[in-house]
Amino acid sequence: MNLRLNSEFGTLKAVLMHRPGKEIDRLTPYNKELLLFEDVPYLEAMQKEHDVFTNLIKETTGATVYRLNELLIQTLTDRDILEKLMFQALQLNNLTHYKDQILDRLSTAECAIALTAGIKVHELKRKIPNLSTNELMDYAFIIPPSPNLYFQRDPMAITPGGIIFSSMKMEGRQREANILKAIFENHPDFKSQVNQLFPLNGQSTPPNIEGGDIIILSKKAVAIGNSERTDAKAIYQVAKALLAEGTVERVYEVHLPERRNYMHLDTVFTILDENLVLTYPDALNSVLQTSLYTLKEIQEDKVHIKRQVLQESLLTVLEREIPHLEILHTADGNPDYSMREQWFDGANVFAIGPRRVISYNRNKHTNNALRNMGVEVLEIPSSELSRGLGGPRCMTMPISRSKI
């Protein structure tokens, strides 16, 4: 499997997903903000919706669906990797002194649950009755849960030139990226195919970048959102690595306004075919500053790139990169419906092939507009999945697509 993608819409062959688990049940009205979540979903209904999504992908594309939990357990059979991930997870609360006791008493599968769903003091005491936890209350988390883990798009990105492993803005989400990095660097299905573009070798605290900000515009161009979650410095480093690798010729840095509905670039627009983009009304025109990175020269292993500030909207950039561009607005531009459907990520559909998308059933006006453009829209139930405020694209990490 060649871990490179040259489009956002080539027919899907393999995808990584995470079925929501116990980490969602850890959410309460009192801790949800702390755990970077917006609501308290009903787990069993959420799992049913996610199962419909997973089965729909398999039935309509025949793609392999990799499950994060299975890959994680398989990866954790290597004791060194298990120790490293457990240390990183405990480090967040300065509780690394519990590492050896946890590893001695928990099975590999239990460790995988602890790394995704977290573990509380009283749960650990059941396993280790003589555990000394004087400094902690019984219901405190020794390892906090990762309820955002079902959004698999954020912790990494696969580009035409290789893989970007995210450096998450929110410290509480870094474990998601650490888990994916450990899997891809060590699992026999992937490790020989990884060409890591970011972080750079030896970077202990890389600047922030998240997968939802990275969109493949064409075989030769990638756009990266400069957002509340992705820094200019990280974009520069990724642009340098991508341009030096040689497949990509242009990297665009897209400056997003600091507003909730512009959290990542993929909440602003998604590409559904070689000439079709879905966005919400006026979003492309309201992004007014874009910078273009190109390769200047490579001299004795030193890479020099050129940055050019383009005083033009994102729409103009897309029109130049995508010939005969057609733009569809969420809810076909109706301001009331568009605002409502954008809240539930109307523009964040998942392309499983050219003009074939999976969308939330609640975004019915957007779905009808897509069908009127000749797009095949497959709907999934979304009462609970949508509560995390991320769409079908956010929940999927495409690993392999047909080349365009």
Q: What is the pLDDT of residue 402?
A: 96
Determine how β-strand 376-380 pairs with β-strand 356-360. Answer: parallel
Does 71 have pLDDT greater than 80? yes
Rounded to an integer, the average pLDDT of 82-107 is 94
Position 347 scores a pLDDT of 85
User: Mean pLDDT across the chain, nearest whole number?
Assistant: 93
The β-bridge partners of 15 are 65, 398
CATH code reported for the domain at 12-67+147-401: 3.75.10.10
Q: Which two tokens stand for residue 203?
A: 């970077």
Distances (CA, A) of 6 to 9, 159, 241, 279: 9, 7, 16, 21
- The residues annotated as belonging to the active site are 394
Average pLDDT rounded to a whole number, residues 373-378? 97
355: which 2 tokens? 């003009």
Q: What is the mean pLDDT of residues 287-312?
A: 91
Tens digit of each residue's pLDDT (9 = 90 or more) over 159-180: 999 999 999 999 889 999 999 9
pLDDT band at 371 (very low <50, low <70, confident <90, very high): very high
Q: In this predicted structure, what is the pLDDT of residue 284?
A: 82
The yes-or-no verdict on residue 268 having pLDDT over 90 is no
Q: Please compute the mean of the pLDDT values over residues 222-226 and round it to a whole number.
A: 97
pLDDT recorded at residue 68: 98
> Which single residue is written with the structure tokens 């995390």?
388
Instruction: Specify the range with the lowest mean pLDDT, choosing from 208-217, 235-244, 259-268.
Output: 259-268
Query: pLDDT tier at 395 (50, 70, 90 boundaries)?
Result: very high
Mean pLDDT of 132-160: 89
pLDDT of residue 262: 77
Question: What is the domain partition of the chain in residue ranges?
Answer: 12-67+147-401, 71-143
Q: What is the pLDDT of residues 320-356, one digit of tens each?
A: 999 999 999 988 888 888 888 777 778 899 999 999 9
